[in-house]
Amino acid sequence: MSQINFVVFDLDDTLMPEENYVRSGFAAVADFLAPVTTTSAPVIVDALTSFQTETPGRTFDRILQFLQVDRFTPQELVTVYREHKPRIDFYADVMPTISALRQVGVRIGIVTDGYAVAQRSKLNALGASELVDDIVVTDEYGPDFWKPDPRSFEMLARNANSDIAQMAYVGDNPAKDFAVASTLPLTTVRIMRDGVHGHRSYLNDLREQIRISALTDIPQVLSLLPYSEGRKV
């Protein structure tokens, strides 16, 4: 492994719990719908959560049927959901990891899939642009840029005048996060979050090179911190 000088993170379920964003979005939709119904916002949130579990992809159709509201379309609710200002936070291990990487001069980036408006809203709510060096929201370049397309990583490396062989990518989703290593010589790291993508299959059976249970393990597993005797971080 080349000496790593650039660590790139996925966003959803790597740096922040996606379920918290979903809950925040459902709360925004509930606040939008409650004034035109006799149902309270908390009850609407519960119904949305139930429908999402039962019939993914039909959540907003079902809530309109449940509430007997015909003045809005499901697509209008999707817009409310995607454009709301999220109430979200990083996982607890994110800020200590960023701090540790900064101490040794490692560059930090984010590559995230998903609808551009929603992803930018998440990043803004988290203040991510003030914490990392570069961010690529793949959807801003079109769906062909979504992972595992390598161009986002090539873009980050080019912007930083860095060698991709000195880049590590940290993600959580085996269905798309690690196959990029088939085309680029970067190091892949999988963060194992409880209850997240535990049973998903690997795309093209391409697995991560390193597996961790907390982001705070990154400096050690990538040999970024000077642990040798007589040297302190």
Extract the residue ranges of the chain whose pLDDT is less than 50: 227-233
Q: In what order do the strands lie in the sheet with 134-137?
A: 134-137, 107-112, 6-9, 167-171, 187-191, 210-212
8/79 Cα distance (integer angstroms): 29
90/41 Cα distance (integer angstroms): 26
Indicate the domain borders of the chain: 6-17+88-221, 18-83
pLDDT digits (tens, 9 = 90+) for 56-111: 999 999 999 999 999 999 999 999 999 999 999 999 999 999 999 999 999 999 99
6-17+88-221 is a CATH 3.40.50.1000 domain: yes
Q: In this predicted structure, what is the pLDDT of residue 233? A: 30
